[in-house]
Amino acid sequence: MDTKQRIYRLLPIARGDTGGSSRVAQFLLSLWNGYRYRVDLQDLLYIDNDIFQDMMQVLNDLHQTNTQLDTYLKGNDIKPVIESWGDAFKSQSFDSN
């Protein structure tokens, strides 16, 4: 499975309303805009193994190819995640600016 397939497999999870959804949303939002959205890495320890492996492979692929999430994902794709979870994971330092 390639990077784009993994990302698009994670997106519907991030759009949900479960604990796993919030963790995947944190991950994707932070990769989308790490200044605005922060991920608590410890939360990622509580993800189902298959989902965790996809997340780590996406992170590894982005690192290895020196690319950003927006190479694979467009604004319309991440917008529902921002609408659902953006306020919950917005960085406090972002709010103060």
pLDDT band at 57 (very low <50, low <70, confident <90, very high): very high
Among 14-28, 32-46, 83-97, which is the least confidently predicted range?
A: 83-97
- What is the per-residue pLDDT for 20? 93
pLDDT of residue 94 exceeding 80, the answer is: no
Q: What is the mean pLDDT of residues 10-22?
A: 95
Percent of the chain with pLDDT over 70: 95
- What is the per-residue pLDDT for 92? 77
- Interhelix angle for 49-65 vs 19-32, to 10°? 0
